[in-house]
Chain A
Amino acid sequence: MKKTFLAAALLFLALNIPGRDLNAAGPGSMGGKKTNEERLENFVFVQLKYSGGNWDPNPSAWDCFYPFLTGITNIHPEKMKRAVELNNMDVFEHPFLIITGDSEFTPFSAPEQEKLKRFFDGGGICFIDDAGGTLRSGFDRSIRRELKKLFPVQEFAKISPEHALFFAFHLTPAVAGTRVAAGYLEGIEYNNQTTVIYSHNDLLGALVTDRFGTPVKKCAPGGEVQRGEARKLMVNILMYGLTGTYKLDAIHREQIINRLKIKKAPDVKE
């Protein structure tokens, strides 16, 4: 609400600066270097806020991950994360949606189901993270129940290690979070893309640090190496959300195969 008011006020000021209106903006009217604001255009970290359960078990995960993501990639995200609900059209503003939780939640109402279905119909992609870090949790039951209603024909299936997601930025990151409840991601294929990506490992939990950068949640059993893999995987998931399967284009294939060979080659003894 505050944001809307602020935006309206700024627009009002812009339109009422004496001697300048948007129609008059031309050469020299607003020159200079691009501001950071101009660059914040291509991604918003959006979480689904639902009823019952715990929709945001790792509230600071995005804030902690933001510097890492912007430090290594050309993604220019908004700094603040957003929460959307399914009782309005906000979800259609953001084609990448995150659903997380650690316990069972209230079933979506029929209109909410319809909204979410339309989100996928429009080309939306959803990343789901079970913050419980276990299989067959209450959250898992709820998610499967809700997605079955949306996709009665499609089934969750393990995402192949050869999926574009594992090549989107980092080369084949391991599937991990604070836990390794499942060494794989699950997904649902719809409209010729992997529309739903599902992690069981509390992936967002592995991103959480305190204000000094010290990890808050312990990663087990792999410790900090596992956390590093979790970060890499998160980057790949977001990159997949923005670029789809482009890394599978033939022109990239040869280079990727070469790097895979290097990565898998045994250390040379000196």
Chain B
Amino acid sequence: MINFSFTYWALIFTLAAAGSAWLLLKYYDKRKKTITALRILLYLLLIFLLLQPVLVKTVKSIKKAPLAVIVDVSKSMNLKYSFHKYSRVKNLIKGPLEKLRESFEISYYAFSSGLTRVTREELLELDEPKGEFTDIGGALNRVKEADTGSRPNNGALLLVTDGNHNSGPDPVEAAKSAGKPVFVAGVGDLKKGIDVELKSVQAAELAFRNIKSTFTAVLTGFNAEGRTVRVTLKKDGRELESKTVVLGSAEKEIKCSFEYTPREAGLLKFELTAVPFDNELNRQNNRREFSVQVLKEKIRLLYISGSPNYEYRFLRQVLKNNPNYEVVSFIIIRGQEDILPLPDPEYTLIPFPVYDIFNKEIYNYDVLVLENFSYRAFIPPEFLKNLNDYIEKAGGSFVMLGGPDAFGSGGYKNTAVENILPVEIYDAGVELFIKEPFRVKPAGHPVNILSEVKSENEEIWEHLPELKGFNRFAKAKPGAVILGTHPVLKGENGKPLPITAVWQKGKGRVLAMAANSTWRWSMWLAGTGRGNYPYGRYWQQLFNWLVNAPDLKQITVAPEKAVYRQGEEILVQATVLDEFYRYEETAAVSLTVQEPNGKTQAANSLMYSGNGIYETTIPAEKPGRYILNVTAEKGAKHLGAASNFVTVNAATSEEYDIFQNEKVLKEIAAVSGGSYCDSGNMEELVRVQKPVREESTVQIKEPLYDSPLFFILIVLLLTVEWYLRRISGFL
């Protein structure tokens, strides 16, 4: 069959041919007729060629079915028990797979944590597979994507692996959705002796100091059903506890749990080991290391109030709404002169455990609040001396809130507490508790920021209601940071009278606030329809500052994940805020990294990615702890520095997976409609796997106008015509 394509040139030559035909009829001379006929023939030939004639042929084709051979090149393929696994793979490629080429169109892929198209020769040239992971699920998914588009539902996959999948999606699920049968060539010895494997450790990455944590070893035993194995928990190489468990069948996971209460904060390293049997096949899979980041437990706050009052109730509500705080309180709900008419059991009054609190318990709290509380009736003055150690050496925080029984009015002049306070106070009987209402004048300090919008922040402070009453301090001590002052009154030094002041005292921080009626802010803010959020925010920020919570640090650095695996890229993010806690967008932020081996990497710069965040990536090449140190500068100004760390876990079990995981491989084959055979018996696979041939009808198009025959014919016609004209004298 010949197909044509239309062109306007053909019309022109048709007209020319028609004109020539007309002349042919007109001429009576024989030679003229011959010449005209030759010209007509030439035109017809040109018309034919201009219509681009194509010869279409229909033929039948038989195509080989595609076979994607996916070869595992992870480290475990480099292991040897009775034979070297990857050498077996090479023999497979050279031998049985060569035979398959007769029936299949074979394409090769190599996989570990990713999948790459390779040639047969590249696989044969590879001596030592070094892939860090075995991601069979990911490889099956990716080969499907790579194949999609041509013939997704044709052909088959041949998976050549030891089956020790240790990364990525579930291989059995991936095989289910492969859309093609997966034939599996299992590589590696099958287990025949006894083997106990500590498959995984179940432990939270984060734990809290003084709060019990549970670590669970998940064990399986091969050919060890009913045998007893001893499991030990070690910390820094020292055995903490050991237990014995009875192993089940090969598939049955046995759990062995240990409880441990960390007493220190920081990154703690542990090790769980299933003590190997004498004749155990593989001893390397009996042990796992893991680390736990131990944080300080909840921020514990001890609140002692001199009387029942709203300041306590409102502050308690703020703190109770924050899950990071745990509040324990004592309120003097009965005065010493009060008479109780009923017997003791009728009341819920409990003795105030002064000795225990001020000599022992205090160190278990992060913050001590004394609100309108005079120690005189309850605490021997010598007990107050412990507060110095609690704050300056143990890093505790101390808050004294005002009231008629606080500060000098509470008798704290000439006591150990006076030394701790950031303000100078007067003697009892001298210091005034002035009941006159006043509006606090805030200083520029992060804890006073009640809205990110500066104008709104100012508006909130302007509209906060007056506080009722304050203790009149003498003045702020040198080194104190004033957070709020009286709008009118002055201290002894002529400066505005401090109402709220803080300072760092040794390792601890101290807040002195001359009033105890800030609850009015909550009520009034709600009353104006604004909502009482700024009240809660103010106190949260104040307490966060006191306990040095990360929320109030200008520079922070953190990895995107607490734990990485060897070979991954660690994303390091630093947040930089200016002194008003707004995003700092133009800082120069640099990172130095101390590697697990103690070597320090050269500093690299972090790029700004928006919202005050600067980031970079570093490779997690070695297992262990990477210490991240970040510094931020703006011009010549040093904005600050921050440190953090990230844990990199050793890659996988690739180092010791010497056997073949036959079970998984058989499942993969079964769910996908393929079949499994051991790599030592590949002939069987060749026999079982019948070639799938594809018959198809194909149309082949041969363009006729390209043929040189037509060119010769045209030249010939023109030559003959020229010759006739010449001998006839028509030239």
Q: What is A's interface to B at a CB cutoff of 8 Å?
A: 11, 22-23, 25-34, 37-39, 41-43, 71-76, 89, 91-93, 95-96, 114-115, 118-119, 121-124, 167-171, 191-193, 232, 239, 241-247, 249-252, 255-256, 259, 262-263
Question: A143 CA to B327 CA in the complex, in Å?
Answer: 35
**22 pairs, CB–CB < 8 Å, chain A vs chain B:** A25-B434, A26-B474, A41-B435, A42-B309, A42-B310, A43-B309, A71-B338, A73-B333, A74-B332, A92-B524, A95-B313, A95-B519, A96-B310, A119-B526, A169-B348, A170-B342, A192-B321, A193-B317, A241-B313, A246-B316, A249-B327, A249-B328
Q: Out of A22, A71, A244, name the residue touching B313 (CB < 8 Å).
A: A244
Are B529's CB and A74's CB within 8 A?
A: no
* A118 CB contacts on chain B under 8 angstroms: 526-527, 529
Are A243's CB and B333's CB within 8 A?
A: yes
Judged by a CB distance under 8 angstroms, whether B427 is at the interface is yes
Question: A121 CA to B313 CA in the complex, in Å?
Answer: 15
Judged by a CB distance under 8 angstroms, whether B350 is at the interface is yes
Question: A37 CA to B434 CA in the complex, in Å?
Answer: 11
Given contacts A95-B519, A123-B522, 16 further A-B contacts (CB under 8 A): A25-B434, A27-B430, A27-B474, A42-B310, A43-B308, A72-B340, A72-B341, A73-B334, A91-B527, A92-B527, A93-B523, A121-B532, A122-B525, A171-B348, A244-B317, A255-B348
Judged by a CB distance under 8 angstroms, whether B346 is at the interface is yes
Are B404's CB and A123's CB within 8 A?
A: no
Question: A167 CA to B526 CA in the complex, in Å?
Answer: 29
Are A38's CB and B433's CB within 8 A?
A: yes
Are A29's CB and B348's CB within 8 A?
A: no
Expressed in whole angstroms, the minimum distance between the Cβ of A31 and any Cβ of chain B is: 5
Question: A79 CA to B332 CA in the complex, in Å?
Answer: 21
* B519 CB contacts on chain A under 8 angstroms: 95, 123
Are B335's CB and A74's CB within 8 A?
A: yes
Are B472's CB and A42's CB within 8 A?
A: no
Q: Out of A23, A33, A89, A246, name the residue touching B490 (CB < 8 Å).
A: A23
Interface centre among B339, B492, B522 (most CB of A within 10 A): B522
Contact with A along B504-521 (1 / 0, CB 8 A): 000000000000000110
Expressed in whole angstroms, the minimum distance between the Cβ of B466 and any Cβ of chain A is: 11
Expressed in whole angstroms, the minimum distance between the Cβ of A58 and any Cβ of chain B is: 23
Q: Out of A73, A170, A192, name the residue touching B346 (CB < 8 Å).
A: A170
Question: A259 CA to B345 CA in the complex, in Å?
Answer: 5
Are B317's CB and A41's CB within 8 A?
A: no
Q: Out of A41, A232, A246, name the residue touching B404 (CB < 8 Å).
A: A41
Residue of A nearest to B532 (CB): A122
Question: A191 CA to B526 CA in the complex, in Å?
Answer: 13
Contact with A along B342-359 (1 / 0, CB 8 A): 101111111000000000
Are B432's CB and A25's CB within 8 A?
A: yes
Expressed in whole angstroms, the minimum distance between the Cβ of B125 and any Cβ of chain A is: 69
Expressed in whole angstroms, the minimum distance between the Cβ of B526 and any Cβ of chain A is: 3
For this complex, into which size category does the number of interface residues on chain B fall?
Answer: 35 or more
Judged by a CB distance under 8 angstroms, whether B429 is at the interface is yes
Judged by a CB distance under 8 angstroms, whether B436 is at the interface is yes
Judged by a CB distance under 8 angstroms, whether B626 is at the interface is no
* B435 CB contacts on chain A under 8 angstroms: 37-38, 41
7 closest cross-chain pairs (CB), A and B: A122-B526, A92-B527, A242-B308, A42-B309, A122-B523, A255-B350, A121-B526
Question: A33 CA to B338 CA in the complex, in Å?
Answer: 19
Are B430's CB and A22's CB within 8 A?
A: no
Q: Out of A27, A30, A92, name the residue touching B526 (CB < 8 Å).
A: A92
Expressed in whole angstroms, the minimum distance between the Cβ of A256 and any Cβ of chain B is: 5
* A39 CB contacts on chain B under 8 angstroms: 404
Are B429's CB and A123's CB within 8 A?
A: no
Question: A68 CA to B348 CA in the complex, in Å?
Answer: 17
Expressed in whole angstroms, the minimum distance between the Cβ of A235 and any Cβ of chain B is: 10
Q: Out of A73, A171, A193, name the residue touching B308 (CB < 8 Å).
A: A73
Question: A91 CA to B526 CA in the complex, in Å?
Answer: 11
Expressed in whole angstroms, the minimum distance between the Cβ of A167 and any Cβ of chain B is: 5
Contact with A along B436-474 (1 / 0, CB 8 A): 100000000000000000000000000000001100101
Q: Out of A25, A75, A119, A121, name the residue touching B472 (CB < 8 Å).
A: A25
Question: A229 CA to B707 CA in the complex, in Å?
Answer: 119
Within 8 A of A (CB), among B263-299: none
Judged by a CB distance under 8 angstroms, whether B643 is at the interface is no
Question: A116 CA to B309 CA in the complex, in Å?
Answer: 22
Question: A29 CA to B408 CA in the complex, in Å?
Answer: 14
Are A32's CB and B317's CB within 8 A?
A: no
Judged by a CB distance under 8 angstroms, whether B661 is at the interface is no
Are B492's CB and A26's CB within 8 A?
A: yes
Judged by a CB distance under 8 angstroms, whether B210 is at the interface is no
Residue of B nearest to A118 (CB): B526
Judged by a CB distance under 8 angstroms, whether B243 is at the interface is no
Question: A247 CA to B328 CA in the complex, in Å?
Answer: 10
Are B404's CB and A169's CB within 8 A?
A: no
Q: Out of A28, A41, A74, name the residue touching B333 (CB < 8 Å).
A: A74
Question: A119 CA to B349 CA in the complex, in Å?
Answer: 31
Expressed in whole angstroms, the minimum distance between the Cβ of B536 and any Cβ of chain A is: 10
* B545 CB contacts on chain A under 8 angstroms: none
Q: Out of B436, B488, B523, name the residue touching A123 (CB < 8 Å).
A: B523
Contact with A along B478-510 (1 / 0, CB 8 A): 000000000011101000000000000000000
* A192 CB contacts on chain B under 8 angstroms: 317, 320-321
Are B328's CB and A251's CB within 8 A?
A: yes
* A33 CB contacts on chain B under 8 angstroms: 429
Question: A152 CA to B527 CA in the complex, in Å?
Answer: 20
- The answer to whether A27 and B346 touch (CB under 8 A), given A38-B404, A95-B313, A243-B333, is no
* B436 CB contacts on chain A under 8 angstroms: 11, 22
* B313 CB contacts on chain A under 8 angstroms: 95, 123, 241-244
Interface centre among B313, B426, B474 (most CB of A within 10 A): B313
Question: A29 CA to B430 CA in the complex, in Å?
Answer: 7
Judged by a CB distance under 8 angstroms, whether B415 is at the interface is no
Are A75's CB and B532's CB within 8 A?
A: no
* A252 CB contacts on chain B under 8 angstroms: 348, 350
Are B348's CB and A247's CB within 8 A?
A: yes
Expressed in whole angstroms, the minimum distance between the Cβ of B300 and any Cβ of chain A is: 11
Are B307's CB and A76's CB within 8 A?
A: yes
Residue of A nearest to B429 (CB): A31
* B650 CB contacts on chain A under 8 angstroms: none
Question: A27 CA to B424 CA in the complex, in Å?
Answer: 12
* A30 CB contacts on chain B under 8 angstroms: 432
Question: A22 CA to B497 CA in the complex, in Å?
Answer: 11
Interface centre among B432, B488, B520 (most CB of A within 10 A): B432
Are B520's CB and A93's CB within 8 A?
A: yes
Interface centre among A25, A42, A96, A245 (most CB of B within 10 A): A42
Question: A115 CA to B526 CA in the complex, in Å?
Answer: 9
Question: A242 CA to B315 CA in the complex, in Å?
Answer: 11
- The answer to whether A22 and B317 touch (CB under 8 A), given A124-B523, A262-B345, is no
Question: A39 CA to B405 CA in the complex, in Å?
Answer: 9
Are B522's CB and A122's CB within 8 A?
A: yes
Within 8 A of A (CB), among B303-328: 306-310, 312-314, 316-317, 320-321, 327-328
Are A34's CB and B404's CB within 8 A?
A: yes
Judged by a CB distance under 8 angstroms, whether B168 is at the interface is no
* A41 CB contacts on chain B under 8 angstroms: 309, 403-404, 435, 468-469
Are B526's CB and A169's CB within 8 A?
A: no
Question: A118 CA to B334 CA in the complex, in Å?
Answer: 32
Question: A121 CA to B435 CA in the complex, in Å?
Answer: 27
Judged by a CB distance under 8 angstroms, whether B329 is at the interface is yes
Question: A41 CA to B310 CA in the complex, in Å?
Answer: 10
Expressed in whole angstroms, the minimum distance between the Cβ of B425 and any Cβ of chain A is: 11
Judged by a CB distance under 8 angstroms, whether B642 is at the interface is no
* A171 CB contacts on chain B under 8 angstroms: 345-348
Question: A89 CA to B432 CA in the complex, in Å?
Answer: 30
